[in-house]
Amino acid sequence: MAIPDSKKIYPRRGDDTIVYLKNVITNSNIEVGEFTFYNDFVNNPKDFEKNNVLYHYQINHDKLKIGKFCSIACGAKFLFNSANHTMHSLSTYPFPIFYDEWDHGIWADKAWDNKGDIIIGNDVWIGYEAVILAGVKIGDGAIIGARAVVTKDVPPYTIVGGVPAKFIRKRFSDEVIDALLRLKWWELPPDRILERIKYIQSGNIQALIDMT
């Protein structure tokens, strides 16, 4: 049996709508784990940085960090800090970024509120046209519903949906969630994951534990 190759751009033969995201990223402020894929049937998925990571200006040094084995659906967006016009001023108008017109010696990053990085765990599924806002952390194994707008952190193995996104339910019992967070199967080499796939897909947590 062939070992999966995380170095490919297109993991599915004859399908140019899906890419292994890590292999098309050029921005040093975007980090993506192995085997995470992005699917786009509207635009070229290789243009993820341009079309899906928005308001991500170098002046902020904010980062997008995505773990391994994540599934990112078409049109998902990550909105960074420059989209957050400041609420600490008497006006939300971003005077500092129009420095040619309103040069008053204040750096452009004062035009918005900096809420921090966006951090996505491992084995996260982000649904069609979902939006993740700056400063949000999404735990391992979480599911983000289609067109959800995520404004707050999402715990591991939790399903959220809606605008703004709200808790729907946990995917598993607390005992199973704790076991999965201990096992961290996504950290294993591909050949060892292959040995465990039948148990991962069938939901046999005890078999996974027995193999450790």
Q: What is each CA distance from 63 to 12, 74, 115, 119, 139, in whole angstroms? A: 29, 21, 11, 8, 16
Residue 1 is encoded by which pair of tokens? 């049996």
- Determine whether 85 is an active site residue: yes
Distance (Å, rounded) from C-alpha 79 to C-alpha 53? 6
Residue 170 is encoded by which pair of tokens? 């946990």
Question: In the chain, helix, strand, coil percent, each to 5?
Answer: 25, 20, 50
Tokens 């949906």 sit at which residue?
Answer: 161
Secondary structure letter of residue 2 according to DSSP: P
From 61, 85, 88, 104, the catalytic residue: 85
Q: What is each CA distance from 8 to 60, 72, 73, in whole angstroms? A: 31, 17, 19
- Give the active site residues: 85
